[in-house]
Amino acid sequence: MVLSEERKALLQTQVELWNQTLSFMKSVALAVALDLRITDAIRHRGGGTATLPQILSGIGINPCKLASLRHLMRVLTIAGTFAIQPLETSSGRHDEPVYKLAPVSCLLTGGDVSENTTSSLSPMLSHVLYPFHDSVLSMGLAAWFRHDEEPGKCLYTLMDGVTLWEMVDVSGGVGGAAATIAAAFPSLKCTVLDLPHVVAKAPSVRNVQFVAGDMFESIPPANAIFLKYVPHDWGDDKCIKLLKNCKKAIPSRDAGGKVIIIDIVVGSSPSDIKLLETQVLCDLHFMEIGGVERDQQEWKKIFLAAGFKDYNIMLLGLRSIIELYP
């Protein structure tokens, strides 16, 4: 797919705007790091370095939060709060990442009375960052990390008692994307699948039919399936279940069957630091509702688990177009 320079500029502008909008998540991440005393957990280990499991143990958090801690640390390393170095294995390969203190984090000591902490900025920073501590913006992220009685619940559910999807559907299930596709390609017949209460409000759109159902149960047969901003709302198990249903609904690759996904691929352009930062900030933001923004290896893992054989990724600004083949 070839984009004009004008469209490329527009996509880059969108990245810039999202970066400005989500920059507050860096303050949220720093507030959580101070609250959990991640700096102390790293500093107190021999050599001043630690892996994720070691940090988890050092801050006394349930192992079920390991994946979430990885996503938090990804934001903190991109922001420069901590540094990361690869672990050299005996075979010469790099395995699990090891975190160490960056110049910034050397000023974030917890303030143990037995240590010289006169240069620590933690007390002042904690005061300044207090609005992010338990605010609607952070949704009590530090408290959620400590909460291990209901490990399967995202912090949104713990705070409100229901999932986001039990309150309002925000996936655009009334056919906006399908209507645009049908208008651009009049020969196509499009079907929109969504929950019954969403479909009931759908408008009449030419060449677009609406089907009430549950994508985790079954998907109507089609030559191609389009998932726009859907997988990032769900954890791996749910995504694998969804993609397995997609695979059942489409023909073989030789017959033209494929799944088209529009979503973020973290690190899709490693040299673009602004893009990478925006992607990981999106990831931390979506973690609040139990969602996740995945890098290519994480996408590959769920594709293979769902039984797909091949995929292709095309960068499209903040997000990417993923073509997935059975």
Closest CA to 222 of 214, 211, 230: 211
Rounded Cα–Cα distance for residues 79 and 22 (Å): 13
Alpha helices by DSSP H, listed for 94-163, are: 122-128, 130-133, 141-146, 155-160
Rounded Cα–Cα distance for residues 174 and 202 (Å): 5
212 phi, psi to nearest 5 deg: -85, 130
Alpha helices by DSSP H, listed for the chain, are: 5-22, 24-36, 38-43, 52-58, 66-78, 122-128, 130-133, 141-146, 155-160, 164-167, 176-184, 196-199, 236-249, 273-287, 296-305
Closest CA to 285 of 268, 300, 264, 262: 264
- Which of 44, 127, 147, 232 is catalytic? The answer is 232
Which is it for the CA torsion 236, 242, 244, 250, positive or negative?
negative
Give the Cα-Cα-Cα angle 28, 33, 36 (nearest 5 degrees).
Answer: 120
Rounded Cα–Cα distance for residues 120 and 126 (Å): 11
Instruction: Retrieve residue 23's tokens.
Output: 């920059």
> Under DSSP, is residue 100 helix (H, G, I), strand (E, B) or coil?
strand
Cβ atoms within 10 A of the Cβ of 297, count? 9
Active site residue 44: no
- Identify whether the C-beta of residue 181 lies closer than 8 Å to the C-beta of residue 206: no
Q: How far, CA to CA in Å, does 319 sit from each of 154, 173, 238, 322?
A: 24, 20, 21, 10
Instruction: Retrieve residue 84's tokens.
Output: 């990361």
Which positions are annotated as active-site residues? 232
